[in-house]
Amino acid sequence: MNTLLTMLSTAVLLPPLTAEESAAAAAKLGELSGLRVYPGSLAASGGAVFFLGRTEERKLLGILSKEGHGGATAFVGEERAFRENGEKYQLKVSPLDHVNAAALRRALPYTGPVPLGLQKSVGFGDRLGLATPGHVRAVRGTGLAPIFAQQSIREMARTGRTPEQVLDDATWGVFQEGWRQGFGADADHLKTTSDIDRCAPVGFTMFTIDPGDHVDNDANADATGILKGKMDDLPWADLESSPEMTRAAYLGKTFDLGDGFSISFSDEDLLRAAAKYGKAVAHTVNLYQHLAGRMGDRPFELEISVDETETPTSVHEHFFVASELKRLGVRWASLAPRYVGRFEKGVDYIGDLAWFERDFVWHVAVARHLGPYKLGIHSGSDKFSIYPIVARHAGNLVHLKTAGTSYLEALRVIASIDSALFRQVLAFSLERYEQDKASYHVSADLSKVPAPDQLADPELAGVLDRFDGRQLLHVTFGSVLTAKGSDGRYLFRDRLVSALAGDEESYYAALEAHLGRHVGFFIG
């Protein structure tokens, strides 16, 4: 109790306890609350001790304070008073809901997101809302700045999650693990002002604008005459320019990018860049201005993503997009071009590595010259063959974005602890793949994925080591997580969550190992 008394006497955030102190305090709090307390969660601020504990069925927030102290008034839960050594105390036990998550972010600011700036960073998607403790363990001690709350509007729709749930789940995971080094929250692949309106009030600190629907992929191969017509038809009022002004800005000049790199535009280079990306630039500016208006004085950072388009972004196109956005007052922390080769979901890079490297160094040169800003590596999960190239040339100017691989690791754990459930998910995914793959760049051949009844239990996890099996299970996540039976109950979601929660350490260990392999390439 002596440690707890010390914690209760502090008005400001107390530094983390030693492992021995945490264990002793957690044991006492467990005795008082009846919960199994996570020692890493213990924190003291404002005369109250905060901790996370669990019963067999669920996790709960605990708040200990002296009687009459107002440290827990912002939280909703059940409160009881008790005496200890003649002193009066109160203990509130609260559910992990949105009201209490928001109150925790106010009481313990480290449980809320912050902008990360130009720190080398990695984003962790979490489709089940359970992965953050494993993500913390994967990044701890690496020096990389993490984004623990990251989900696209498309994924939110497919999983049935809200922006509030995405941020809250990250908050509880950060709290559980005692992560105090800061993290970001990325509202990913926003395409419209309504997308922004859903996410801006919630507390996200990073917003990824995706103007891909406004990229003219045909301009990659159009004849010169067609390109001229497309350039003339751009929304020049929104771009605050004209064809003549644009030609004067780019033609007949050599732009020195430093380190021996320079770039100049031919008339065709400019026509193609403007025709292909001009409308995307205008759309990005409009969304950025809308976002800035919604955020007001709250700090935020921007990522621009054109990675989910059909044709690669050339160095001239990258230079044009960044130059125009800069001219129009947009400020961003990272930009994700469409790189050469194929960045398919859940599998390694497909393409010529030497070609990728020759192209990538030019993108780095543009990012250093016109920023500096980070280069986003989207669909970045499991691209192990390119990580050394990216780390070698980009240095700190890199943001690696992962998402579905954490869901795949969840299924790997399920294969080992509930083989029947894994078989059902695999069978259902085989039925859904052809429809679900429509919005993804994937090339899985279902004939190469064994049927569930062809596999013995020890062979089930091996599906996740196959190219075609990984993509199958990766892109069908939304259908799996939202499928309901005739009784209106989820077919798989609740069973997956329950199984993983019941063996959470196995899931965290799998995430730490797999994602630790990812970030290991970028340490130093």
Catalytic residues: 188, 303
Closest CA to 188 of 215, 217, 159: 159
Helix (H) or strand (E) holding 146: strand 145-152
Chain centre to alpha carbon of residue 500: 20
First vs last C-alpha separation in the chain? 41
Residues 242 and 236 sit within 8 Å (Cβ to Cβ): yes
* Residues contacting 351, CB < 8 A, separation 6+: 340, 341, 342
Helix (H) or strand (E) holding 202: none
Helix (H) or strand (E) holding 90: strand 87-95
Q: How many CA atoms lie within 13 A of 413 on its CB side?
A: 28
Residues 183 and 203 sit within 8 Å (Cβ to Cβ): no
Residue 328, phi-psi category: left (phi > 0), alpha (psi -120 to 50), beta (remainder): alpha
Which three-class secondary structure string do you get for 211-261? Answer: CHHHCCHHHHCCCHHHHHHHHHCCCHHHHCCCHHHHHHHHECCEEEEECCE
Three-state SS for 334?
A: strand
- Give the number of other Cβ atoms within 10 Å of residue 203's Cβ: 20
DSSP state for residue 466 in the 8-state scheme: S
Three-state SS for 284?
A: helix
Rg (Cα) of the chain, in Å, rounded?
Answer: 25
Report the alpha-carbon distance of residue 165 to residue 172 in Å, rounded. Answer: 10
